[in-house]
Amino acid sequence: FSTELADLCLRGKKQGFLSAVERRARATHTVSRSADYRSSLYTYYIVRNRFLILRNHYRRHLLLYLFWMAYSAALSFKLQLT
């Protein structure tokens, strides 16, 4: 749910590792699914995982936490309308 790589890189950084990005890399999915479909459970995990990243790696950044709180509320509201 889109935070696994960020969490892995942040944990590695705390242990002294460096992360690299290959900008030309591409990923493909073999399962076809509508991009418009977003279940409540999907939304829950997206929001929860972003808060876990903030809690585990950015505890001292209150403004960032408040931004994600507002963004997550807006995302949830938007997805409920669709």
Contacts (Cβ under 8 Å, ≥6 apart) of 64: 54, 58
DSSP label at residue 16: T
| Prediction pTM value | 0.60
Alpha-carbon span 57 to 65, nearest angstrom: 11
Tokens in use for 75? 């995302």
Q: Is residue 44 part of a domain?
A: yes
Residue 73, domain extent:
4-24+39-81
Counting the structural domains of the chain, the total is 1
Do the domain assignments include residue 33?
A: no
Q: Could you tell me if residue 56 is inside a domain?
A: yes
* Distance from C-alpha of 68 to C-alpha of 51, rounded to nearest angstrom: 8
Q: Note whether residue 30 is domain-resident.
A: no
pLDDT tens track, the chain, 82 positions: 578 888 999 999 999 999 998 999 998 877 766 555 567 787 788 878 888 888 888 878 878 778 877 887 888 787 777 6
- The residue type at 10: L
